[in-house]
Amino acid sequence: MIDAIHPRLRGLPLWLTVAGLLGFGGCAALGLKHPATAPQPLPTIDKQAPAPKSSKRADGSTLTDAQAQAALITQTDLGAPWTPTSGAATWRDGLLKATTEAGDCQPLLDALYTDELLGGPARVAVGLDDADTDAQLRYQIAARRPSDVDAALKWLAAMPAQCARFTATTELGVVEDVQVTDAPLPEVGDARQGLHISVAALDQDGQEALLSLDVAAVRVGEDAFAFTNGGLGDVPNDATQAAVQVGALRLADVRRQGRAQV
């Protein structure tokens, strides 16, 4: 069964590979496939999430379905080697699906795993993969009121102090060392928060895994977006910075065009 593992994942610790197999249901090929236990599958550029039935409110404060889709970033914005996602990375189940008894840190793990960084499901979302580093960027436009977004940003800002370092345990019993630090973001939008999160794990046989995650959340007027950029080892921080800048400009431009058409 192990011989069927995707070639790009042969270097993964066996216990992390097994976690992906358990989630995906046996001998199915691994890689960026959607494990059965993963959160709701993230749409690709070519296949967007079903748009909400509700459209623009009479006061114009909510993006229309078309505007929300247009505000998403694409692989063109980040350039090569980013491509539409092939599915949720196996490390999501293997490392992010974990529990901790450390204070208020469980909600952070849950939000990372479910992609609900701003406190609720996304309005629209997209996933991009970096084929060179196996990093994955999961980007979403929020369906939250500005006051709720600001509350979520305040909560994220408290994480480096409240959850600077803690231990968590995966479903397979692997103990993880999790560290959370503040991460600077470009000064765009009206409010923003960035985090860098590292998850280090060592099993009983001495096999290691290190997951690095850049987290960014930005409010631009009435709208907001959030994303994670993660991978095993180092992640391309230039993609994080670019996604923040492009995302803020895209939201502002979509709003400006909408006002011009009224």
How does DSSP assign 134-191, residue by residue? TEEEEEEEE-S-HHHHHHHHHHHHHHHHHTSEEEEEETT--EEEEEEEE----S-SSE
- As a whole number of angstroms, the distance between CA 149 and CA 126 comes to 19
pLDDT band at 16 (very low <50, low <70, confident <90, very high): low
Closest of 214, 234, 218, 105 to residue 169, by C-alpha:
105
pLDDT at 36 over 80: no
Domain limits of the chain? 2-47+62-261
Reported pTM: 0.79
Distances (CA, A) of 137 to 84, 85, 161, 174, 246: 10, 9, 25, 25, 14
Cβ contacts of 130 within 8 Å, gap of 6 or more: 81, 82, 136, 137, 231, 236, 239
Q: Could you report the per-residue pLDDT of 188-208, keeping only the tens digit for each?
A: 999 999 999 999 998 667 778
Q: Could you report the per-residue pLDDT of 100-136, keeping only the tens digit for each?
A: 999 889 999 999 999 999 988 899 999 999 988 889 9
Q: Could you report the per-residue pLDDT of 211-251, keeping only the tens digit for each?
A: 999 999 999 999 999 999 999 988 889 999 999 999 999 99
Q: Which CATH architecture has domain 2-47+62-261?
A: 3-Layer(aba) Sandwich (3.40)
Q: What is the pLDDT of residue 26?
A: 31
Q: Could you report the per-residue pLDDT of 148-168, keeping only the tens digit for each?
A: 999 999 999 999 999 999 999
Q: Could you report the per-residue pLDDT of 58-101, keeping only the tens digit for each?
A: 334 678 889 999 999 999 999 999 999 988 888 888 899 999 99
Between 3 and 174, name the one with better pLDDT. Answer: 174
- Express as a percent the part of the chain with pLDDT over 70: 74
